[in-house]
Protein backbone atom coordinates (compact mmCIF):
# COMPACT_ATOMS: atom_id res chain seq x y z
CA UNK A 1 0.00 0.00 0.00
CA UNK A 2 1.32 3.45 -0.88
CA UNK A 3 2.14 5.74 2.03
CA UNK A 4 -0.79 8.10 1.37
CA UNK A 5 -3.18 5.16 1.00
CA UNK A 6 -1.90 3.70 4.28
CA UNK A 7 -2.42 7.04 6.04
CA UNK A 8 -5.99 7.20 4.72
CA UNK A 9 -6.63 3.62 5.81
CA UNK A 10 -5.31 4.33 9.31
CA UNK A 11 -7.31 7.57 9.59
CA UNK A 12 -10.49 5.80 8.48
CA UNK A 13 -9.95 3.05 11.08
CA UNK A 14 -9.32 5.59 13.85
CA UNK A 15 -12.39 7.62 12.86
CA UNK A 16 -14.52 4.47 12.66
CA UNK A 17 -13.37 3.30 16.09
CA UNK A 18 -14.28 6.68 17.59
CA UNK A 19 -17.65 6.77 15.81
CA UNK A 20 -18.52 3.23 16.92
CA UNK A 21 -17.62 4.13 20.52
CA UNK A 22 -19.90 7.18 20.36
CA UNK A 23 -22.79 6.01 18.19
CA UNK A 24 -22.56 2.24 17.98
CA UNK A 25 -22.03 0.02 14.97
CA UNK A 26 -24.63 1.90 12.94
CA UNK A 27 -22.51 5.08 12.94
CA UNK A 28 -22.80 7.03 9.72
CA UNK A 29 -20.24 6.10 7.06
CA UNK A 30 -20.37 9.68 5.77
CA UNK A 31 -19.53 10.94 9.26
CA UNK A 32 -16.62 8.46 9.49
CA UNK A 33 -15.26 9.67 6.14
CA UNK A 34 -15.63 13.31 7.23
CA UNK A 35 -13.82 12.65 10.53
CA UNK A 36 -11.04 10.84 8.68
CA UNK A 37 -10.66 13.75 6.26
CA UNK A 38 -11.35 11.59 3.22
CA UNK A 39 -14.12 11.37 0.66
CA UNK A 40 -16.80 8.73 0.71
CA UNK A 41 -15.23 7.11 -2.38
CA UNK A 42 -11.90 6.72 -0.56
CA UNK A 43 -13.64 5.09 2.39
CA UNK A 44 -15.46 2.67 0.08
CA UNK A 45 -12.29 1.90 -1.88
CA UNK A 46 -10.65 0.70 1.34
CA UNK A 47 -13.81 -0.83 2.81
CA UNK A 48 -16.40 -1.81 0.18
CA UNK A 49 -18.99 -2.60 2.89
CA UNK A 50 -19.87 -1.48 6.40
CA UNK A 51 -19.22 -5.04 7.56
CA UNK A 52 -15.65 -4.98 6.24
CA UNK A 53 -14.98 -1.69 8.02
CA UNK A 54 -16.42 -3.02 11.28
CA UNK A 55 -14.37 -6.21 10.94
CA UNK A 56 -11.19 -4.14 10.57
CA UNK A 57 -12.06 -2.02 13.63
CA UNK A 58 -12.95 -5.12 15.61
CA UNK A 59 -9.87 -7.09 14.56
CA UNK A 60 -7.44 -4.43 15.72
CA UNK A 61 -9.08 -4.34 19.14
CA UNK A 62 -9.21 -8.14 19.34
CA UNK A 63 -5.51 -8.33 18.60
CA UNK A 64 -4.95 -6.01 21.55
CA UNK A 65 -7.13 -8.22 23.78
CA UNK A 66 -5.14 -11.28 22.72
CA UNK A 67 -1.84 -9.52 23.44
CA UNK A 68 -3.20 -8.61 26.88
CA UNK A 69 -4.09 -12.28 27.50
CA UNK A 70 -0.59 -13.37 26.50
CA UNK A 71 0.97 -10.80 28.87
CA UNK A 72 -1.30 -11.85 31.73
CA UNK A 73 -0.54 -15.54 31.15
CA UNK A 74 3.02 -14.97 32.34
CA UNK A 75 1.90 -13.57 35.71
CA UNK A 76 2.05 -15.46 38.98
CA UNK A 77 -1.70 -15.47 39.79
CA UNK A 78 -3.89 -17.29 37.22
CA UNK A 79 -7.14 -16.28 38.98
CA UNK A 80 -6.26 -12.59 38.82
CA UNK A 81 -5.03 -12.95 35.24
CA UNK A 82 -8.34 -14.46 34.10
CA UNK A 83 -10.45 -11.88 35.96
CA UNK A 84 -8.32 -9.00 34.66
CA UNK A 85 -8.67 -10.25 31.10
CA UNK A 86 -12.44 -10.73 31.40
CA UNK A 87 -12.66 -7.12 32.60
CA UNK A 88 -10.66 -6.06 29.53
CA UNK A 89 -13.12 -7.98 27.33
CA UNK A 90 -15.99 -6.18 29.07
CA UNK A 91 -14.33 -2.77 28.53
CA UNK A 92 -13.93 -3.68 24.87
CA UNK A 93 -17.58 -4.73 24.55
CA UNK A 94 -18.96 -1.67 26.35
CA UNK A 95 -16.80 0.76 24.37
CA UNK A 96 -17.83 -0.78 21.03
CA UNK A 97 -21.58 -0.67 21.34
CA UNK A 98 -23.31 -2.94 18.88
CA UNK A 99 -20.12 -3.99 17.11
CA UNK A 100 -20.26 -7.68 17.94
CA UNK A 101 -23.99 -7.87 17.20
CA UNK A 102 -23.46 -6.17 13.85
CA UNK A 103 -20.71 -8.59 12.90
CA UNK A 104 -22.92 -11.50 13.89
CA UNK A 105 -25.71 -10.12 11.68
CA UNK A 106 -23.21 -10.27 8.82
CA UNK A 107 -22.49 -13.89 9.65
CA UNK A 108 -26.20 -14.67 9.62
CA UNK A 109 -26.53 -12.91 6.25
CA UNK A 110 -24.33 -15.56 4.67
CA UNK A 111 -20.77 -14.33 5.33
CA UNK A 112 -19.72 -17.01 7.78
CA UNK A 113 -16.12 -15.79 8.00
CA UNK A 114 -17.03 -12.28 9.08
CA UNK A 115 -16.14 -12.01 12.75
CA UNK A 116 -15.32 -15.73 12.98
CA UNK A 117 -11.57 -15.18 12.99
CA UNK A 118 -11.86 -12.60 15.76
CA UNK A 119 -14.17 -14.87 17.74
CA UNK A 120 -11.65 -17.70 17.45
CA UNK A 121 -8.81 -15.42 18.55
CA UNK A 122 -10.70 -14.27 21.65
CA UNK A 123 -11.82 -17.79 22.54
CA UNK A 124 -8.31 -19.23 22.25
CA UNK A 125 -6.75 -16.40 24.27
CA UNK A 126 -9.33 -16.82 27.04
CA UNK A 127 -9.13 -20.63 26.98
CA UNK A 128 -5.42 -20.45 27.74
CA UNK A 129 -6.04 -18.22 30.77
CA UNK A 130 -8.90 -20.43 31.94
CA UNK A 131 -6.73 -23.56 31.63
CA UNK A 132 -4.06 -21.94 33.82
CA UNK A 133 -6.73 -20.95 36.38
CA UNK A 134 -8.07 -24.52 36.44
CA UNK A 135 -4.56 -25.92 36.95
CA UNK A 136 -4.18 -23.61 39.96
CA UNK A 137 -7.60 -24.73 41.27
CA UNK A 138 -8.82 -21.15 40.76
CA UNK A 139 -11.66 -22.01 38.36
CA UNK A 140 -14.29 -24.73 38.39
CA UNK A 141 -13.61 -27.60 36.00
CA UNK A 142 -17.12 -27.38 34.51
CA UNK A 143 -16.77 -23.74 33.40
CA UNK A 144 -15.87 -23.18 29.76
CA UNK A 145 -14.46 -20.09 28.12
CA UNK A 146 -17.69 -19.91 26.12
CA UNK A 147 -19.61 -19.72 29.42
CA UNK A 148 -17.43 -16.86 30.61
CA UNK A 149 -17.57 -14.93 27.34
CA UNK A 150 -21.36 -15.38 27.20
CA UNK A 151 -21.56 -14.02 30.75
CA UNK A 152 -19.42 -11.00 29.87
CA UNK A 153 -21.45 -10.37 26.72
CA UNK A 154 -24.76 -10.59 28.59
CA UNK A 155 -23.55 -8.16 31.23
CA UNK A 156 -22.36 -5.72 28.58
CA UNK A 157 -25.60 -5.92 26.62
CA UNK A 158 -27.50 -5.16 29.83
CA UNK A 159 -25.53 -1.96 30.53
CA UNK A 160 -24.47 -0.72 27.08
CA UNK A 161 -27.00 2.13 27.00
CA UNK A 162 -26.18 3.34 30.52
CA UNK A 163 -24.01 6.46 30.93
CA UNK A 164 -21.75 4.63 33.39
CA UNK A 165 -21.94 1.32 31.54
CA UNK A 166 -18.28 0.47 32.07
CA UNK A 167 -18.50 0.88 35.84
CA UNK A 168 -21.72 -1.12 35.96
CA UNK A 169 -20.24 -3.89 33.80
CA UNK A 170 -17.19 -4.08 36.05
CA UNK A 171 -19.36 -4.26 39.17
CA UNK A 172 -21.63 -6.95 37.73
CA UNK A 173 -18.69 -8.97 36.45
CA UNK A 174 -17.04 -8.80 39.88
CA UNK A 175 -20.31 -9.96 41.43
CA UNK A 176 -20.53 -12.86 38.97
CA UNK A 177 -16.92 -13.90 39.57
CA UNK A 178 -17.02 -13.66 43.36
CA UNK A 179 -20.62 -14.61 44.12
CA UNK A 180 -23.10 -13.00 46.47
CA UNK A 181 -21.82 -14.37 49.78
CA UNK A 182 -19.79 -12.09 52.03
CA UNK A 183 -16.08 -13.01 52.18
CA UNK A 184 -15.47 -16.01 54.40
CA UNK A 185 -19.11 -17.10 54.50
CA UNK A 186 -19.76 -20.60 53.14
CA UNK A 187 -23.58 -20.73 53.15
- 1-48 has CATH 3.40.640.10 classification: no
Asked if the domains 1-48 and 50-178 are classified in one and the same CATH topology, the answer is no
pLDDT number for residue 107: 46
- Average pLDDT (45-50) is 92
Prediction pTM value: 0.77
pLDDT number for residue 106: 47
Confidence of residue 118 (pLDDT cuts 50, 70, 90): confident
- Phi and psi at residue 10, to the nearest 5°: -65, -40
Can you identify the CATH homologous superfamily of domain 50-178?
A: Tetracycline Repressor, domain 2 (1.10.357.10)
CB 18 within 8 A of CB 53: no
Q: Where do the structural domains in the chain lie, given as residue ranges?
A: 1-48, 50-178
- Burial class (CB within 10 angstroms; exposed 0-12, middle 13-18, buried 19+) of 7: middle
- Average pLDDT (83-106) is 75
List of residues 6+ apart from 64 with CB closer than 8 A = none
Confidence of residue 23 (pLDDT cuts 50, 70, 90): confident
- Of 117 and 122, the one with more pLDDT: 122
Amino acid sequence: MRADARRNYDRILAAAAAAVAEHGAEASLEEIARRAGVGSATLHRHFPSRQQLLEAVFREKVETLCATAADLATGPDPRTALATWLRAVARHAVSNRGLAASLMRGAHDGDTTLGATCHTMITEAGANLLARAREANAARPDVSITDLLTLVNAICLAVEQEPDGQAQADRLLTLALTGVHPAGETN
